[in-house]
Amino acid sequence: MPEQQPTLTDGAVTLRPWRADDASEAVAGHDDEMALWFGWDASDVTEESHARAIARWQERYRAGEQASFVVEHDGAIVGSVEATRQGDAGASLSWALYSGHRGRGLAARAVRVLVDWVFADREQGGWGLQRVEARIDPRNDASRRVATRAGLRLEGAQRITPGMGDRPDATSYLVFARLVTDPPLSDPESFRSLLNSFLPRKRAIAQMLVRDPEGRVLLCQLTYKRDWDLPGGVVEVGESPRLAVGREVEEELGLTIEPGALVLTDWLPPWGGWDDAVCLVFDGGTLEPSALADVVKQEREIRDVRFCTLEEVDALAADFTARRIRSAVTGEGTYTESGR
């Protein structure tokens, strides 16, 4: 740990140590937006309280616990960033821009400069750490953008109970992180990995439409819900939906059926605690009713299986499932939303 806290810059923003005479300018930039996400009352921030905070940050730097920097742009104090040590190899990040200085990309620049310094070897004046992370309220869109533009990947959500977070009503935090071994931000692989970490990941469900010679539809009674449904299941990560439906039918029913053409794509809105999903229905051809004698049900998921008329489908299945099956059977369209 260098005895003197360094001054860092990328040519556009400068990160420098706090000075006692920064309190007045910093306090003038505090507003309700900052108070909202940090969980304090803006009126509680005074020059005296901020001067005490500056002294505390300086002491924590000397103790090797935290590095808090003023962010300057064009000679003015526009915000602050800080890194707090977590064990021997990691640090947590925090940042804030003051009123009148947001929306210009300054925070992302400052965080990138800070991360580069945290990762730099001790011989280069840095901390030589391996990982940095930021915990962000999911409702804080601005900070989420700063994190991703600074090269931090979204790793997941951390659940908390009310009162554990900065805001008393917070129930979760999104965890964004970067490793020293991640490719540079200028590397295409880094860009793709970054986007892949936060772009929507819509669930895919693959089902099979199997009918008997009379046109009845094969339905399964599931153990985890009262309604009946087509055989199939959730497509695993990196798995082809077509291969997934064949795998599911074999695992659930012990039947080996080669999936045919895609007959319907049905979008399922959020329902019953599930996120939205895309359901892909593949043609399973025709099966004699006698083939059900060969069914070996996976008892953890399947209670019963049988061929049903469309009228029976209406009675046994949820309304959106029945609509999906009718659309798949009639072939009136290749795309529906909740069966419509």
Q: The CATH number of the domain where 144 resides is what?
A: 3.40.630.30
Residue identified by tokens 């020293």 is: 180
For residue 299, give the DSSP letter: T
Residue 274 pLDDT: 79
> Does the pLDDT value for residue 296 go beyond 60?
yes
In terms of domains, do 102 and 237 share one?
no
Q: Would you say residue 193 lies in a domain?
A: yes
Q: How far apart are CA 159 and CA 150, in angstroms?
A: 24
Question: Are the beta carbons of 96 and 134 closer than 8 angstroms?
Answer: no
In terms of domains, do 153 and 264 share one?
no
In terms of domains, do 173 and 223 share one?
no
Average pLDDT (257-276) is 91
pLDDT band at 2 (very low <50, low <70, confident <90, very high): low
Residue 339 pLDDT: 92
Percent with pLDDT over 90 in the chain? 78
Global pTM? 0.76
In terms of domains, do 159 and 213 share one?
no
Helix (H, G, I), strand (E, B) or coil at 326: helix
Average pLDDT (324-339) is 93
Residue 288 pLDDT: 95
User: Structural domain of residue 28, as residue ranges?
Assistant: 8-198
In terms of domains, do 183 and 302 share one?
no
Question: Which of 130, 163, 198 is the endpoint of a domain?
Answer: 198
pLDDT tens digits, residue range 98-139?
999 999 999 999 999 999 999 999 988 899 999 999 999 999
All residues at 6 or more sequence positions from 195 whose CB lies less than 8 Å from its CB, including other chains: none
> Does the pLDDT value for residue 272 go beyond 80?
no
Question: Are the beta carbons of 230 and 206 closer than 8 angstroms?
Answer: no
How many domains does the structure of the chain reveal?
Answer: 2
Q: How far apart are CA 267 and CA 78, in angstroms?
A: 45
Chain-centroid distance of CA 7 in Å reads 34
In terms of domains, do 223 and 122 share one?
no
